[in-house]
Structure 1
Amino acid sequence: MPLYELNKIKPSIGAGTWIAPSAQVIGNVTIGRDCFIGFGAVIRGDFGPIIIGNESLVEDNAVIHTATRTEIGNRVIIGHMAMIHDAIIRDGSLIGMKSMICEGAEIGEGAIVAEQSLVKKGQKIASGKIYAGNPAEFKKEATDHHRKMLDMGIQAYIELTRLYHSTLKPVDP
């Protein structure tokens, strides 16, 4: 597993969590149970703690770092190639692919940040709202349909995590 101790601090990984062999999890990182950490993801807790809740997904090539503290709640989706730095992301939120969440930003519970959005330093994204753009601006309310789709996505990844645990094997060319 691609886990690294730094300054005598080791990552803590919850039961059932799957971490891709090409991911890097370094130092003061706590990841909850039944999470998916995708290929090429970097979660670097070298300056402060990074805490990721249960059943959260960090998709391929996402980068999570902190200068002081980063918190990601339960059942959060961090899309492919997203960058999170020194932010708080509450339960049930979605951070779209290639989005950037900057220092001191806070993403409310059940909020959606659309792909390729920039949440600026210190910006607050309200719970249950959809934001998009550069900089991210309010677009509309998240609906029950959005929440249902997010839940389906998380459940699909929880099942994928189990599949990776049981069947992923390197092969010879």
Structure 2
Amino acid sequence: MSDAPTILTYEGITPAIDESAFVAPGARVIGDVVIGAESSLWYNVVVRGDGNYIRIGARTNVQDGSVIHISAHTHPTVIGDDVLIGHMAMVHGCTLHDRSFVGFGAVVMDGCVIESDAMLAAGAMLTPGKRIPSGQLWSGRPARYMRDLSPEEMAGNQKGVAAYVVEARKHRKALAEAQPAE
């Protein structure tokens, strides 16, 4: 593949990516970024740690076209373990605790917190400084509490995490097989 991921040192800081993590072709990882074991950054994801830091835990997946950024000098972005971030999401200067979920096209703004086992629905916008308590679903623009998540929904999210770990391994293998022999 000609469009390898871009891993860019910025102001002397090189991203630290666990060797078991999957960073897809076309993804961009810049500056003060740490990515944990078995996490995945899918096609055309941007993770830009300039002016503050980004930490992504283990087994977290950031799906195609999403942007992870910081708020310079005020809010880093800290993403825990086993987090699902849907396609085309914007995650900016916030904290996503372990097992949280950000839906397709959702926006999480500066100073926000999504607690463990909490969910921001597809297309929702969590405005600055808001907090989604554990076990709750928020939706809308601006996002508001909708209801509590069932234990089955929370378990389903974790099945999604496991599926993405497996899928990342398959993509890594397919990309390795697509490389021309030297």
TM-score, reference length from structure 1: 0.95
- Deviation digits for residues 58-104 of structure 1 (CA, Å, limit 9, x no counterpart): 00000010023110000001110000110001000110000000000
Q: 2:89 aligns with which of 82, 104, 114?
A: 82
Structure 1 residues not aligned, in runs of 5+: none
Q: CA deviation at 1:130?
A: 0.5
Contact 1:12 1:31 in 2 (8 A): yes
The 5 Å alignment of 1:1-150 reads: 1-67=5-71, 68-150=75-157
- The 3-state SS of whatever aligns with 1:25 is strand
- The 3-state SS of whatever aligns with 1:161 is helix
Point out the more displaced range, 147-156 or 22-31.
147-156
How many percent of aligned residue pairs carry the same amino acid? 31
Q: Distance in 2 between matches of 1:88 and 1:6?
A: 22
Supply the AA of the counterpart residue of 2:37. R
- Deviation digits for residues 17-46 of structure 1 (CA, Å, limit 9, x no counterpart): 000110000000000000110101000001
- The 3-state SS of whatever aligns with 2:168 is helix
Q: Distance in 2 between matches of 1:2 and 1:152?
A: 30
Contact 1:36 1:56 in 2 (8 A): yes
Q: CA deviation at 1:163?
A: 1.0
Supply the AA of the counterpart residue of 2:19. A
Q: 1:167 aligns with which of 147, 171, 174?
A: 174
Q: Distance in 2 between matches of 1:119 and 1:147?
A: 20
- The 3-state SS of whatever aligns with 1:149 is helix
Structure 2 residues not aligned, in runs of 5+: none
Q: How many residues align?
A: 172
Q: Distance in 1 between matches of 2:163 and 2:113?
A: 26
CA RMSD of aligned residues (A): 1.3
- The 3-state SS of whatever aligns with 1:130 is strand
- The 3-state SS of whatever aligns with 2:33 is strand
- Deviation digits for residues 139-173 of structure 1 (CA, Å, limit 9, x no counterpart): 1111111112111111111001111222225489x
TM-score, reference length from structure 2: 0.91
